[in-house]
Amino acid sequence: MRSAVEELTSLKREITEGPDAAATRRQRDKGKLTVRERIALLLDEGSFHEVEPLRRHRAQGFGLERRRPHTDGVVTGWGTVEGRTVFVYAHDFRIFGGALGEAHAEKIHKIMDMAIAAGAPLVSLNDGAGARIQEGVTALAGYGGIFTRNTRASGVIPQISVMLGPCAGGAAYSPALTDFVFMVRDTSQMFITGPDVVKAVTGEEISQNGLGGADVHAETSGVCHFAYDDEETCLAEVRYLLSLLPQNNRERPPAAPSGDPADRRCEELLDLVPADGNRPYDMRRVIESLVDDGDYLEVHERWATNVLVALARLDGQVVGIVANQPQSLAGVLDINASEKAARFVQMCDAFNIPIVTLLDVPGFLPGVDQEHGGIIRHGAKLLYAYCNATVPRIQLILRKAYGGAYIVMDSRSVGADLSYAWPTNEIAVMGAEGAANVIFRRQIAGADDPEAMRARMVKEYKAELMHPYYAAERGLVDDVIDPAETRQVLIRSLHMLRTKHADLPSRKHGNPPQ
């Protein structure tokens, strides 16, 4: 027995060290960590329990029968992050370039099934070259099994994809099905067809990073939620995100003790937000003032910057924040902003995270490109997400809230539990100038001094329909509050709503706008 155990120990040591020193050196020369170094950074020290480290492929042909390394290019197992169970699979680029074959796929299928059964988050560390060409259609079928499990797990357990190398072809679709995508600049890429194929088909020449690098997906496509300069920072942020998420859809997010008083007044808000609706300001500073210790995790920070979405804590409880950003396009809603906010609202609703919506929105972005691009359809995604959400929802109107954008951004009429407003709020179908031009068109045109008449009509419209208490008088706003008291009002309201229970009609699933 002792001899057998010694043999086993030696074998597992070889597996842990990897295929050979040259392959490890090539990995490091690219600025990348090895697969087990990555897992060690992600999980609590000493917590990783590996599954099927001895697995080897059974494929024949093209020399594969002579190359049968253990793990088959993917390390799978579970461990803990801050003491909570997390499942993980990680490609080992040193073995077959991390390419997916039959045995490789079966290992991933198994760990995904275990994560779903255990009700714990799944993190994939992606550094693979796609399907293993030598195994043909069986490799493609392996991807199908992963996609099916991604879909079954959607909204059930948090799924996080961390891109740490190239990810091409069908391999890019699994990350796209997950809740969050992290990327590392210069070393990770995602694309369906690589630069060589693009050049052959279209004649366009482009680098891998130019086609599908972290900055491209963080700023242009919106595929990437978070982009970082190095793997260590990236994996540390994955741990932080996991600390804000529940284990599964049956639990609440973990609470954390807060040293920030729940009744703290935010006097700085009185000077931070200008009363003049045409003057911009940074909504991030409002969020920092309201949340515990000014600490929050912004999602999709560099894509669709006219709307902000973030996870934060109020009195130790996790909340999701959706907010217009007046510094970017005056905070209007457009196609990308609608998609960004809708996806975030759906995620929060799936994982029992209350939603606080901060409004300062002049409407939807007008323009031919927006209309032809389907702003109606994309804006409806955000409307659908809010209407479908059953978590506690609070709306706060800071300044402007005009037209359809006011309705879409979680108004009382689409199911917000509570709506508050600051004394600077303006809730209306449109701005006073535009409204006066429509309503009093004839009077203005027939006046001896049209500009003086227009100014008088604008003032009259504001006095009648846009004063800060108009919506409150009609029950569409629950209260007009002192901005300095916003934090304590939100915390008290969320505490009351913690036991909220709402049922949707029985159905197989909805048919949201696409």
Give the integer Cα–Cα distance in Å for 171 and 182.
Answer: 15
Where would I find the H helices in 244-322? 269-272, 283-290
The amino acid sitting at 249 is: N
Give exposure, 169-204, as e/b (b: 16+ Cβ within 10 Å).
bbbbebbebbbbbbbbeebbbbbeebbeebeeeeee
Q: How far is CA 151 from the centre of its chain?
A: 17
- In order of 53, 143, 202, 362, the CA distances from 11 in angstroms are 10, 29, 49, 65
Q: What is the distance between the terminal CA atoms of the chain, rounded to a whole angstrom?
A: 61
Give the integer Cα–Cα distance in Å for 438 and 442.
Answer: 9
Give the residue from 323, 174, 352 showing the smallest Cα distance to 246: 352
Give the integer Cα–Cα distance in Å for 23 and 20.
Answer: 6
- In order of 11, 95, 131, 167, 325, the CA distances from 138 in angstroms are 28, 18, 9, 19, 48
Residue 197 backbone dihedrals phi, psi, to 5 degrees: -70, -40
Please tell me the number of Cα atoms within 13 Å of 495 on its side-chain side: 10
> If DSSP codes are grouped into helix, strand and coil, which group holds residue 43?
coil
Which position has the token pair 């996806």? 343
Residue 72 backbone dihedrals phi, psi, to 5 degrees: 55, 30
> If DSSP codes are grouped into helix, strand and coil, which group holds residue 428?
strand
Give the residue from 23, 175, 196 showing the smallest Cα distance to 98: 23
Give the integer Cα–Cα distance in Å for 377 and 34.
Answer: 44
Q: How many residues does the chain have?
A: 514
Residue positions annotated with a catalytic role: 169-170, 404-405
The token duo for 181 is 């995508």
The token duo for 189 is 């890429």
Which position has the token pair 């080897």? 56
Give the residue from 107, 50, 103, 36 showing the smallest Cα distance to 79: 50
- In order of 171, 230, 303, 458, the CA distances from 226 in angstroms are 19, 12, 10, 45
Give the integer Cα–Cα distance in Å for 114 and 108.
Answer: 10
Question: What is the signed CA dihedral for 107, 251, 238, 47, rounded to 10 degrees?
Answer: -60
The token duo for 135 is 């195994």
